């Protein structure tokens, strides 16, 4: 596979895979039913990592958690886990819904894509070039907004040479026609970014990390530490700040959450280092400051976050929009944050849900029925897995 001219490739230094015990999948019978319909099969670094880390009036700062906040499950909380959608997964990462209400999910370390249909989870393909590392592997997934006609699905994957975006066809039973559309994104053991989201403009937004090399975030010649905006062919999208570049914004440490609200505003959740994790409002051409700024810095030329947390309460890996709020899944914080969006586009004070109840929370996605799907990440080598982890839950909102 060829690299696009001018892109930068960095080799990954592989770390040993997690020694967490693996559990057998529990969906064999359910998958057998789907097979009849044509499915193919069932089934610590020197740099600090995504969750190993001990004001402007527009920034909401969460500096401490109250006793009220830290209860495991508040029985009066209208935000509830209604169902368990899937069990016995291994680090589910990317999740996207198809027009018929079924969903595709990636598993980071296995390099597999599976179809979730009711209570059945069946593997529909493997990305063979996946090279899992401490934080890399098969990561984000986005379904084409024109899926009904083009049947295209996009994933972000760590290979032995780079991070890249792949396009593929999904015909309802298996993936095929796997094609790299953007290559040469820097990779590393940590800070690989990896979230994909289609915008209301029809273009694909891609989050990348700086791989532990701070300088990449400010380097205009690198795709690391950026949010990118590309066409479905991988070209820079029309209207980008530099029409010859896929870069939409820069100065990011490690963005793993992207979501558009009902006013078409783009929001991103971002891992900080020692002091502050962030939610940022993303606008083209902005510089979000890393490594010169972390959290609310008031430095000229850099954009401050809308919300900031101490890392032990957050380590935010994903963000979704539903019911007038942003919903932020947190790894080290082991909670789902709700952040209301006010009429003027500013954010309210975050409210935590499920604190400590389900362990590390990696992915949250708004479902077609108005609920949220929420995935754990307890088998990623850093968690304490329950017997049926990793799981995906359906969360009902008020």
- DSSP H helical segments within 224-341, as ranges? none
The 10s digit of each residue's pLDDT in 90-133 is 999 999 999 999 999 999 999 999 999 998 999 999 999 999 99
- Per-residue pLDDT band for 58 (boundaries 50, 70, 90) equals confident
| Residue 3 is assigned to a structural domain of this protein | no
Token pair listed for 213:
């090399």
- Per-residue pLDDT band for 64 (boundaries 50, 70, 90) equals low
Q: Give the C-alpha separation, 140 to 183, whole Å.
A: 15
- Measure Cα distances from 201 to 131, 145, 326, 372 in Å: 32, 10, 20, 23
| Residue 8 is assigned to a structural domain of this protein | no
**Ordered DSSP codes for 206-237:** EE-B-TT-GGGGG-TT--TTEEEEE-TTSSBP
Domain that holds residue 354: 65-396
Sheet holding 80-86, edge to edge: 80-86, 392-396, 372-376, 361-366
Token pair listed for 378:
């307890």
The 10s digit of each residue's pLDDT in 300-331 is 999 999 999 999 999 999 999 999 999 999 99
Token pair listed for 128:
């063979």
pLDDT of residue 392: 98
pLDDT value at 76 more than 80: no
pLDDT of residue 19: 29
| Residue 44 is assigned to a structural domain of this protein | no
pLDDT of residue 49: 57
Strands 226-230 and 204-207, by their bridges, are antiparallel
* Distance, first Cα to last Cα, the chain: 48
Q: Which residues contact 264 (CB under 8 A, 6 or more apart)?
A: 199, 200
* Out of 32-36, 151-155, 320-324, least confident range: 32-36
Token pair listed for 210:
């700086």
| Residue 104 is assigned to a structural domain of this protein | yes
Other Cβ atoms closer than 10 A to 40: 16
| Residue 188 is assigned to a structural domain of this protein | yes
Paired with 247 in beta bridges are 228
Q: Give the C-alpha separation, 17 to 256, whole Å.
A: 21
Question: For residue 257, which of 355, 336, 342, 182 has the smallest C-alpha distance?
Answer: 336
The 10s digit of each residue's pLDDT in 236-269 is 999 999 999 999 999 999 999 999 999 999 999 9
Sheet holding 196-198, edge to edge: 196-198, 204-207, 226-230, 247-250
Q: Which residue has the higher pLDDT, 32 or 132?
A: 132
The 10s digit of each residue's pLDDT in 261-288 is 999 999 999 999 989 999 999 999 999 9
The 10s digit of each residue's pLDDT in 167-188 is 999 999 999 999 999 999 999 9
DSSP 110: T
- Per-residue pLDDT band for 74 (boundaries 50, 70, 90) equals low
Sheet holding 60-62, edge to edge: 60-62, 307-309, 277-282, 266-270, 255-260
Q: How many domains does the chain have?
A: 1
Within 13 Å of residue 300, how many CA atoms lie on the same side as its CB? 0
Q: Find out whether 393 and 377 touch, Cβ atoms under 8 Å.
A: no
| Residue 40 is assigned to a structural domain of this protein | no
| Residue 74 is assigned to a structural domain of this protein | yes
pLDDT of residue 62: 87
Helix, strand, coil share of the chain (percent; to 5): 5, 35, 60
Q: Find out whether 118 and 147 touch, Cβ atoms under 8 Å.
A: no
pLDDT of residue 274: 86
pLDDT value at 54 more than 60: no
> Which helix (H) or strand (E) segment is 163 a member of?
strand 163-170
pLDDT value at 233 more than 50: yes
| Residue 21 is assigned to a structural domain of this protein | no
Q: Find out whether 125 and 131 touch, Cβ atoms under 8 Å.
A: no
pLDDT value at 34 more than 80: no
Q: What is the dihedral of CA 164, 219, 209, 8, to 10 degrees?
A: 20
CATH of the domain at 120: 2.120.10.30
């Amino acid at each position: 596979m060829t690299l696009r001219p001018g892109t930068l490739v960095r080799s990954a230094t592989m770390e040993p895979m997690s020694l967490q015990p693996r559990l057998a999948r529990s969906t064999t019978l359910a998958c057998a039913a789907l097979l009849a319909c044509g499915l193919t099969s069932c089934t610590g670094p020197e740099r600090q990592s995504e969750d190993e880390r001990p004001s402007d009036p527009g920034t909401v700062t969460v500096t401490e958690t109250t006793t009220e906040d830290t209860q495991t499950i508040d029985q009066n909380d209208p935000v509830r886990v209604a169902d368990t959608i899937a069990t016995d997964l291994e680090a589910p990462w990317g999740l996207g819904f198809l027009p018929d209400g079924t969903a595709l999910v990636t598993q980071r370390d296995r390099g597999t894509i599976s179809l979730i249909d009711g209570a059945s989870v069946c593997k529909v393909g493997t990305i063979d070039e996946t090279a899992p590392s401490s934080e890399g592997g098969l990561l984000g997934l986005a379904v084409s907004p024109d899926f009904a006609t083009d049947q295209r699905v996009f994933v972000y994957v760590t290979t032995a040479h780079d991070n890249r975006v792949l396009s593929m066809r999904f015909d309802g039973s298996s993936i095929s026609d796997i094609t790299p559309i953007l290559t040469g994104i820097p990779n590393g053991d940590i800070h690989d970014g990896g979230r994909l989201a289609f915008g209301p403009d029809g273009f694909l937004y891609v989050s990348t990390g700086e791989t532990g090399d701070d300088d990449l975030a400010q380097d205009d010649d690198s795709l690391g530490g950026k949010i990118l905006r590309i066409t479905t062919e991988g070209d820079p999208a029309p209207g980008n700040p530099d029409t010859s570049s896929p870069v939409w914004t820069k100065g990011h440490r490690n963005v793993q959450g992207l979501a558009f609200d009902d006013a078409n505003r783009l929001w991103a959740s971002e891992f900080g280092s020692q002091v502050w994790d962030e939610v940022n409002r993303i606008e083209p051409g902005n510089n979000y400051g890393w490594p010169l700024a972390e959290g609310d810095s008031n430095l000229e030329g850099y954009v401050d976050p809308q919300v900031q947390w101490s890392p032990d309460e957050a380590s935010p890996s994903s963000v979704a929009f539903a019911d007038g709020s942003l919903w932020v899944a947190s790894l080290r914080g082991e909670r789902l944050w709700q952040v209301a969006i006010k009429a003027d586009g500013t954010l309210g004070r975050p409210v935590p849900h499920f604190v400590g109840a389900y362990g590390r929370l990696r992915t949250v996605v708004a479902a077609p029925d108005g609920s949220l799907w929420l995935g754990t990440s307890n088998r990623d080598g850093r968690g304490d897995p329950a017997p049926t982890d990793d799981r995906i839950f359906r969360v009902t909102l008020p």
